[in-house]
A = this chain, B = another copy of it.
Amino acid sequence: MHQPTKLQDMAQAACATLARLRAEMPRVHCITNAVAQNFTANVLLAVGAVPSMTLSAEEIGSFVTEADALLVNLGTFDAERRQATGIAVKTAAREALPWVLDPVFVDRSPARAEFARTLIARGPKVVRLNAAEFFPLAGAEATPGTLAAFARDNNIVVGLSGEVDIVTDGARRASIENGHPLMARVTAMGCAGSALVAACLAVDEDAVRAAASALVIIGVAGEVAAEKSQGPGSLAAAILDALYNLDAATLRARARVTP
């Protein structure tokens, strides 16, 4: 068991993680929804990571084997993505590859919620979701207490996005107040955030710190971008620019993380 890092210096950790993304350029294989694929790839490229998105059963094993992290996002889930997920998760286990589950819209589909529960049992490092998606998985409203219990019970890190993002493994917690309301008007913003969590897991094995770093990075980039944007269209472009240009001073100055 690795020693849990103190979270006092999360802003510093986010800076270090961003530097490692740019230096190591980790490969992130993404099983993600059709709406999110392009924007997710652009977010990963903007921070220096290398995305791939192949889904076919014949090939996904090769891609995951050569990847440094995996994302499984349940948006626009279908038979191809279901089969891909089975192979990818098995490959990730064999290769000791960290992976992230984003259970998009499990509140809209009981079948999807059931599938998400089976996936959580297969060992994602991080489950990133919103409050509406937490309820059908945990059978409880999202509160600091239920989040911690859910994380402990399932031996995962939970990353809840909302006005304040919360990252917890049940023992440690980071609350992140970065971001901007306009981000919710750009489709796939949350999906891309989950992909960034996967990228950070590739360069930082402390999953709480990696997930919190990712959410700080995208939140600060969103704030910087919103200041230069006239609406959601310009924000979508500006956040890619902001991620690409983000420097440690800005990240340190703007990061708002508390335990």
- Residues of A within 8 A of B (CB-CB), count: 55
Q: How far is the CA of A246 from the CA of B37 in the complex (A)?
A: 29
A76 at the binding interface (Cβ < 8 Å): yes
Nearest B residue (CB) for A59:
B109
Within the assembled complex, what's the spacing in Å between the Cα atoms of A53 and B76?
6
Q: Which of A8-46 contact B (CB under 8 A)?
A: 33-39, 41-42, 45-46
Q: Pick out which of these stretches binds chain B: A208-216, A231-239, A250-258.
A: A231-239
Q: Bound complex: CA of A180 vs CA of B187, how far in Å?
A: 25
| B-side contacts of A237, CB under 8 Å | 233-234, 236-237
Residues of chain B with a CB closer than 8 A to A153's CB: none
A59 in contact with B244 (CB, 8 Å): no
* Closest chain B residue, CB of each to CB of A46: B232
20 contacts between A and B (CB under 8 A): A34-B53, A35-B38, A35-B41, A35-B53, A36-B38, A38-B187, A42-B236, A45-B185, A46-B231, A52-B105, A52-B108, A59-B77, A59-B109, A62-B110, A229-B241, A230-B241, A232-B241, A233-B244, A236-B240, A237-B237
